[in-house]
Chains A and B, each alone.
Chain A
């Protein structure tokens, strides 16, 4: 097991370093001189070269990378070209909103995807199975941004059931402790705010989770079907164990191994895909920050967002890989490559 963890750690470190190089090169690959972009097109040549020197853009690339990284490690991502604020503060302000949204979406994915996937596999060939399969096929092809718009149109505007924009009603006074509204409102014992936060989370989380939910549902179904055919399941049934133990204990354990790995990936894709959901629901998160920054060609902000999410994603994958090894002894004994 130690060997396995060591190997996975090494490859994670390698990936994280490569990602940082890639993100660093973003600035280099962007056409135009960053100093010129910051100063505007009417800047004098002297001012541009002075700023270039100040930013270290006249240094050789490896030196620039080293400076970029040593600052990033200390949490200094530079300043936004658009607002002049420290990028790290901008990210700190929006990160909890995105993570909270993605976590709730992940809970939806697990509840529906795994739950219905198991049900669909157990009741294979039934009407329920048929409906579920069509729904998940539709879910995979569904443009999430359109689904979001339709939910806003029907659930919020027509039926008036749930709010369409923001994280809380305007004028809600909730102290910011963690930035996670669900946790903050619990700490403040403000149960009205908690309810409001939940209601605001519903539609965005459904929208964000739809593709993952459909994917997980299909995977759970097929992997459960495979496991349910195995000899040991037949044995368990022959021993006279009740069906819920056969499925819940014997089949589920093996059936979930591959699903767990994919869940990690899906969580990462949610963080990356949040830009769409956040734009529809005016959710003040990282995705919206990125889109605004891209439109304004504010590369430092984009760079830092990509860096934060990508490194976070690698760490999640690392944890998932370790979990995979724990769940599946075959993996850690064989070479450990997937």
Chain B
């Protein structure tokens, strides 16, 4: 509750939350809100401006832009959250183990993470897509691998801090196993840092996955993914600029939403990370 109160006072975070709620409900209600089937091509209506039938016009194959954008909102949330959750699911246990046990495991794991971080991030993503082959799931994995070191490092740093706290010693003394101590005592104390981290990463995951789709390496046609829509509409930029305007605006708005909420959560939950 205190958290909500603090968040409410931050008008930027509130506007971020409003944006996210709008986009999320647009995505969830897409089957009811969308005036057309997102993949229905009506070739004689190609690349038209907005009209009563097509509020945001049609794309290069005569598909309803609005319907495609609404369905794209679903994908965008799923890819953004899915990517970050993949990274968190792998990174948090690794970070917990590395921080708690230390030793050779810690050293070699952190060494690998340093190597991953020593490659420019988009290059790493491209390299992974090159290995796995193009596709939406593969590009999500690529971005997740790039997100992973952040999770490992933050979790590990947090464990190192918590491990020395007074309440860990008694837990060990009464015979709790390592796993129980990690799960029951260490992890909950790292939670707020990790929540902040997650909310801040979703935005960049959405842009990065969309970027790969824009290069034709992520979602493949006819999937109504925003980045892929920009890619296929790119050729028509002179004649039908609306095809590349709306999907980008949608990506931009949703990323802004996540970043505003993430910044707000950081200020509310983790004063140590607060910037000036």
Q: How many angstroms from the CA of A271 to the CA of B234 in the assembled complex? A: 23
Q: Which of B118, B123, B207, B276 contacts A317 (CB 8 A)?
A: B118
Chain A residues near B131 (CB-CB < 8 A): 26, 29-30
Contact-residue size bin, chain B (C-beta under 8 Å from the other chain): 35 or more
Given contacts A15-B114, A269-B121, A309-B123, contact A149 B256 (CB under 8 A): no
**Residues in B218-246 with C-beta less than 8 Å from chain A:** 227, 230, 234, 237-238, 241, 244-245
Q: Which of B127, B211, B276 contacts A306 (CB 8 A)?
A: B127
Closest residue of chain A to B241, judged by CB?
A153
B140 interface contact, C-beta 8 A: no
Which of A30, A149, A225, A290 is most buried by chain B, counting CB atoms within 10 A of its CB? A149
B130:A222 contact, CB within 8 angstroms: no
Chain A residues near B247 (CB-CB < 8 A): 146
**Residues in A149-182 with C-beta less than 8 Å from chain B:** 149-150, 152-153, 157
B80 interface contact, C-beta 8 A: no
State how many angstroms separate the Cβ of A186 from the closest Cβ of chain B. 29
Closest residue of chain A to B123, judged by CB?
A272
The SS class assigned to the A binding surface is helix
Q: List 6 A-B pairs, minimum CB-CB distance, nearest first.
A: A272-B120, A146-B248, A272-B123, A141-B255, A18-B115, A272-B122
State how many angstroms separate the Cβ of B172 from the closest Cβ of chain A. 29
Offer 19 A-B interface pairs, CB within 8 angstroms, sorted by A: A31-B133, A141-B255, A143-B207, A143-B211, A143-B248, A143-B252, A144-B211, A145-B227, A146-B230, A146-B244, A149-B244, A153-B237, A222-B275, A269-B121, A279-B214, A290-B126, A291-B126, A294-B217, A302-B126
Q: Which of A146, A299, A310 contacts B120 (CB 8 A)?
A: A310
B129 interface contact, C-beta 8 A: yes
Chain B residues near A291 (CB-CB < 8 A): 126, 215-217
Chain B residues near A259 (CB-CB < 8 A): none
Q: How many angstroms from the CA of A23 to the CA of B116 in the assembled complex? A: 11
Q: How many angstroms from the CA of A146 to the CA of B248 in the assembled complex? A: 5
Closest residue of chain A to B260, judged by CB?
A137
B217:A295 contact, CB within 8 angstroms: yes
A145:B118 contact, CB within 8 angstroms: no
Given contacts A15-B114, A141-B207, contact A302 B130 (CB under 8 A): yes
Given contacts A141-B252, A146-B248, A153-B241, contact A19 B211 (CB under 8 A): no
A310:B248 contact, CB within 8 angstroms: no
B119 interface contact, C-beta 8 A: yes
A271:B120 contact, CB within 8 angstroms: yes
Instruction: Count A interface residues, CB 8 Å.
Output: 52
Q: How many angstroms from the CA of A294 to the CA of B135 in the assembled complex? A: 12
**Residues in B121-149 with C-beta less than 8 Å from chain A:** 121-124, 126-127, 129-131, 133-134
A138 interface contact, C-beta 8 A: yes
**Residues in A248-286 with C-beta less than 8 Å from chain B:** 268-269, 271-273, 275-276, 279-280
Q: How many angstroms from the CA of A290 to the CA of B203 in the assembled complex? A: 25
A33 interface contact, C-beta 8 A: no
Chain B residues near A280 (CB-CB < 8 A): 234
Q: How many angstroms from the CA of A15 to the CA of B130 in the assembled complex? A: 22
Q: How many angstroms from the CA of A23 to the CA of B187 in the assembled complex? A: 35
Q: How many angstroms from the CA of A317 to the CA of B118 in the assembled complex? A: 9
**Residues in A286-334 with C-beta less than 8 Å from chain B:** 290-291, 293-295, 297, 299, 302, 306, 309-310, 313-314, 317
Q: How many angstroms from the CA of A309 to the CA of B125 in the assembled complex? A: 13
